[in-house]
Amino acid sequence: MKTTFLTIKKNSIFAVLLCILAIGVFCGAYFPIKANATPKPVHTIVIDAGHGGKDGGAVGRTTGVTESELNLKYSLALKNICQQYGFNVVLTRSDMNGLYSPFASNKKRSEMEKRKEIIDKTNPDLVVSIHMNSFTSSSAKGAQVFYADGNESGQALAQSVQTNLFKTTENARKTAKVGDYYILNCTKVAGILVECGYLTNPDEEVLLQQEKYINDFCYNLFCGVLLYFGF
């Protein structure tokens, strides 16, 4: 496994934390820190767990695990890591329920409008939308990060995260791509959509459900976020 070394700015309130973070990436491990050791939040992140409720998203061919279930697990893991390092986090959903109004005639539209409402109300520094991928061929695998066309800050964030995942996570793609997704197009905020892996690939389907892999993946994703902020 390759490693990423973070450049720590002088007088940064994250100096001590990022030393720990760099060691964690080097060792391929996740080091939780005590709440009283974290600085006050300086960045706000909206973490969006895709799908939910009646919309389960992609389904694993071997185990039957749903995308909505895994999206939530990854989002909660990423939330925990972000908060431990002093970031303010807002979730679009924190359980398996859908965000759509039960009275909406078009529940998908209702759900997406609710996600936009949360982002607009929060006015975050960035948005990370978590998803699982699928494809007709079972050989497709690897994490892919997307950004909205024309959103320069989103592109910079996406490439920072993609590069770090490529260096630390097996089968992750090398280059971020433009993605035409509502969650990215509905805001001017720096936003990325992360397809963590393929539920249609038997090996990756099993791997994506392992707790250690979930924590490591989210940790490496977070390292990419830190690199985007310049820490």
* Region for residue 162 given its phi and psi (left: phi exceeds 0; alpha: psi -120 to 50; beta: otherwise): alpha
- Residue 136 predicted with pLDDT over 50: yes
Per-residue model confidence (pLDDT) at position 15: 45
Label residue 18 left, alpha or beta by phi (over 0 means left) and psi (-120 to 50 means alpha). Answer: alpha
Among 36-50, 125-139, 173-187, whose mean pLDDT is lowest? 36-50
What does the pLDDT read at residue 27?
A: 38
Average pLDDT (134-158) is: 98
pLDDT of 7 > 50? The answer is no
- Amino acid letter at 149? D
Task: Check whether 21 has a pLDDT greater than 60.
Answer: no
The tokens 């976020």 sit on which residue? 225
For 90-123, what is each residue's pLDDT tens digit?
Answer: 999 999 999 999 888 999 999 999 999 999 999 9
- What pLDDT was estimated at residue 42? 82
Name residue 195's amino acid. Answer: E
Q: Is residue 163 within 8 Å of 230, Cβ to Cβ?
A: no
pLDDT band at 31 (very low <50, low <70, confident <90, very high): very low
Q: Which DSSP string do the residues of 108-167 spell out, in sequence order?
A: HHHHHHHHHHHHHHH--SEEEEEEEE--SSTT----EEEE-TT-HHHHHHHHHHHHHHHH
| Encoded tokens for 58 | 């992609």
Given a cut of 50, whether residue 65 has pLDDT beyond it is yes
Model confidence at 28: pLDDT above 80: no
Query: What span, in angstroms and rounded, lies between the C-alpha atoms of 100 and 159?
Result: 31
Q: How many residues belong to the chain?
A: 231
Domains of the chain, earliest start first: 41-229 (3.40.630.40)
Distance CA 209, CA 206 (A): 6
CA geometry: angle 112, 113, 118, nearest 5 deg: 100
pLDDT digits (tens, 9 = 90+) for 178-206: 999 999 999 999 999 999 999 999 999 99
pTM beyond 0.75, yes or no: yes
Assess contact for 48 and 115: CB atoms under 8 A.
yes
